[in-house]
Amino acid sequence: MPYKKFEEYNIQVTDDVKNRYENIIKDLGEDTRRDGLLKTPERAAKAMQFLTQGYHQDPVDILKGAMFKESYNEMVIVKDIELYSLCEHHILPFFGKAHIAYIPDGHIVGLSKLPRIVDVFARRLQVQERLTEQILDCINDTLKPQGVAVVIEASHMCMMMRGVQKQNSITTTSGFRGQFEKIETRNEFLKLIGK
């Protein structure tokens, strides 16, 4: 049986956003009755709901759902986590990679939960600085490890497509808590992620 993708959308929200997109497209001078644009307002409405689904997800519940008692107390790193978000200033995409490390203090978390936390916060209107801090604080406050580190490297379409139009620029943000505030621990992490 072929793979069937299923996405569920709020019909009322979809219709409302669809009508707004239709008006925007008309205001820009296009004909929404043109063959290629007939379904564009609805597709755009569904895409926007998908890209902002993080507002309806609880990152703390995600982490708590996969916390396990464990005596391991060395650095755990998940690096090169793909992320896609929308800049809150222009509603244009920014995308890149997140690198997360933590040092357990009695509890570990299922490894897939760290990328899921990235997605929850990235799937909102964002700025990279806040995204970095939200991921960091969520892991720190929920897991209560000895330390947490987050580094995000991203390209911003608001800088690449418009404004200064610098296609090769990368923005890097970082945050450190606990043991990662010590220079030797921080340096070990940065070396392990290749920075």
Considering only CA atoms, give the Rg of the chain.
20
Catalytic residue check, 56: no
Which is catalytic among the residues 70, 89, 129, 167? 89
CA distance 84 to 91: 12
Residue 87, annotated ligand binder? yes
Which is catalytic among the residues 22, 49, 126, 128? 128
Catalytic residue check, 99: no
Q: Which two tokens stand for residue 71?
A: 């005596």
Number of CB atoms found within 10 A of residue 1's CB: 3
Catalytic residue check, 156: yes
176: which DSSP letter? E
Catalytic residue check, 138: no
With contact defined as beta carbons under 8 Å apart, do 175 and 132 qualify?
yes
Helices (H), 39-144: 40-51, 59-64, 113-122, 128-143
Which is catalytic among the residues 49, 99, 134, 156? 156
Q: Is the dihedral of CA 69, 70, 73, 77 positive or negative?
A: negative
Residue 188 identity: E
Catalytic residue check, 188: no
Residue 138, annotated ligand binder? no
Catalytic residue check, 158: yes
Indicate the SS3 state at residue 88.
coil
Which is catalytic among the residues 30, 42, 53, 90? 90
Which is catalytic among the residues 87, 126, 153, 179? 87
Which is catalytic among the residues 56, 70, 82, 88? 88
Catalytic residue check, 8: no
Q: What residue numbers does the annotated binding site for Zn(2+) cover?
A: 87, 90, 158
Q: What residue numbers does the annotated binding site cover?
A: 87, 90, 158
Active-site residue list: 87-90, 128, 156, 158
